[in-house]
Homo-oligomer: A and B are copies of this chain.
Amino acid sequence: MGGIITLTTDFGTRDPYVGAMKGVILGIDPDARLVDISHDVPCQDVAAGAFVLSGAYRYFPPGTVHVAVVDPGVGTARRGIVVETQTWLFVGPDNGLFTPVYSAEDVGRIVEIRNPEAMLPEVSSTFHGRDVFAPTAAHLCAGLPLESVGPPVDDPVRLDLWEEGREPGRMTGRIVHVDRFGNGITALTRDRIEGATGGRTFRVSVGGQTFGRVSQTYGDAAQGEPLVLFGSRGTLELSVNGGNAAELMGFGRGDEVVVAWEEGER
């Protein structure tokens, strides 16, 4: 069986763009096995693409190559990169799309895609998904060594949205995604919060609202009441039992979420 290559893009499914990428990959590595993650990332929304990728990549087997293309800067000087972790490779534009990978994984080498042999013979200025990222992924999947793709990169672009703040008694993050049910999802994992608090009781605040405890399930709050819990991603989420938290509490993507505790207590 060939290697697995996943695809995450904002190309939609009405145009031939995704089909062209798939054809290019199979033209280079006919044994590759293609898996669609999503092609419905909102147009040119790099942060949304980062979020979708972050919710799926870790479940794939070692050796999977994840291609992600949400690329408002195509044709400009922005770099194309390959990111290596212990387990997977990521291929796409260097615009912050891989921020969640930098946050959560042990990142190995990162290289810029510069070798013309990793690309199609002709590279357009408007469609690097087909001309650069798909062929690079296919060549890597077929065995091209990472170091031959291009020179190392040591300053990949990161989205502020996924930054985490730490000071005594306090940890901050942001709402990285509001899902279609209105839940506000952060990148603050249970592990990281428990590591910081050392098991102490903590409060969670967003906007003017503070929660004194983390619920186990939606049902822990009365119907229509807001709550915080660790969602199926293992990260802190703001929800309303049977309602839309974003509307009810008035938050949006990028809003700060504060976890606070008393350093003295234990």
User: How does the 8 Å CB contact mask read for A33-65 relative to B, with 1 for contact and 0 for none?
Assistant: 111111111100000000111111111110010
Q: How many copies of this chain?
A: 3
With the chains together, A33 CA to B4 CA distance in Å?
11
A190 to chain B, nearest CB (A): 11
CB pair A23 B56 closer than 8 Å: yes
CB pair B60 A23 closer than 8 Å: yes
CB pair B15 A217 closer than 8 Å: no
The 8 Å CB contact of A53, one of B16, B38, B54, B127, is: B16
User: How does the 8 Å CB contact mask read for A209-252 relative to B, with 1 for contact and 0 for none?
Assistant: 00000001110000000000001100000000000000000000
> Which B residues are CB-close (under 8 A) to A2?
1
Interface band, chain A: 35 or more
CB contacts under 8 Å to B, within A112-167, are 124-127, 130-131
> Which B residues are CB-close (under 8 A) to A22?
35, 37, 56, 59-60
Q: Is A75 an interface residue (CB 8 A)?
A: yes
Q: Which residues of A contact B (CB under 8 A)?
A: 1-2, 4, 6, 8, 12-24, 26-27, 30-31, 33-42, 51-61, 64, 75, 124-127, 130-131, 179-180, 216-218, 231-232
